Structure 1
Amino acid sequence: MKYYIPLIAAASVSLLSACNNNKEPEVVGGPADPMAAELANAAPVELPPSVKANKQFRCKDNSLIFVDFMSDDKTALLRTEKGGTATSLKAAEAGQPFTAEGFEVSGSGDDVTITVPGKGAQACHV
């Protein structure tokens, strides 16, 4: 048993001596990025708004209107059918009516006034 300890020590020293002892530095960064200056000076990216509230309104003519109010308080998505195509409505400032292409949504609570092309403005509630 006593003879194995020096043999194990000698074997481990010989294994460690096989390690790379280069004094040259390793290049880790790789080649320079040709667009680094452009990316550093680029304008910050603004993420699109997320859905703040998803509401289904019953209007005065007994129709259903589906409106997604976005987190920027300047955008709303309006659908006249549950799985229908959304129309993006924009407001000039938060609190102003959302408008686009003959559509208008005034208010963002449970009681709103909605105008859809072909129909007049009508009161709608959740």
Structure 2
Amino acid sequence: MTISPSAAPPIESPEQLAEYLAQAQTWQAVETLTQTYPSFKAAAWKLLSEAEQQHILELKRWKDVAIAQIFPPGCRVQRRQDPEQKQGKVVDYLEAYGTYYVVFTVDGFTDWCPGEMLERVP
């Protein structure tokens, strides 16, 4: 789900807001929704599962890291030059020597690499 930073979709209930929040892929989307519908914010938060709440907190944690905006937590990625075209799910990020790396799981194994070596897949 992509939410324009200047306009949130029309929402009429905390349940609808919770649905949109659960699908948000960036912290900017979360902020747009909660700032547009502050009266639904607390009720919507209570409707989210613990996993959905944790996902939103992860978005907040990485909101200032550019690589996390390109490859948000939970999105699917694959290495650009992978002949097997194995896909993984983004689970974290790490920084070493001034470079941010994307950490992802593939078939139960954890892997990591710089973002420029990855592509996002549907």
Asked which structure has the greater RCO (Cα within 8 Å, sep 6+), the reply is 2
Please state which structure has a larger fraction of its residues in helix: 2
Shared fold (TM-score, shorter chain, > 0.5):
no
Q: Which has the larger radius of gyration?
A: 1
* TM-score band, normalised by shorter chain: under 0.3
TM normalised by structure 2 equals 0.24
TM normalised by structure 1 equals 0.24
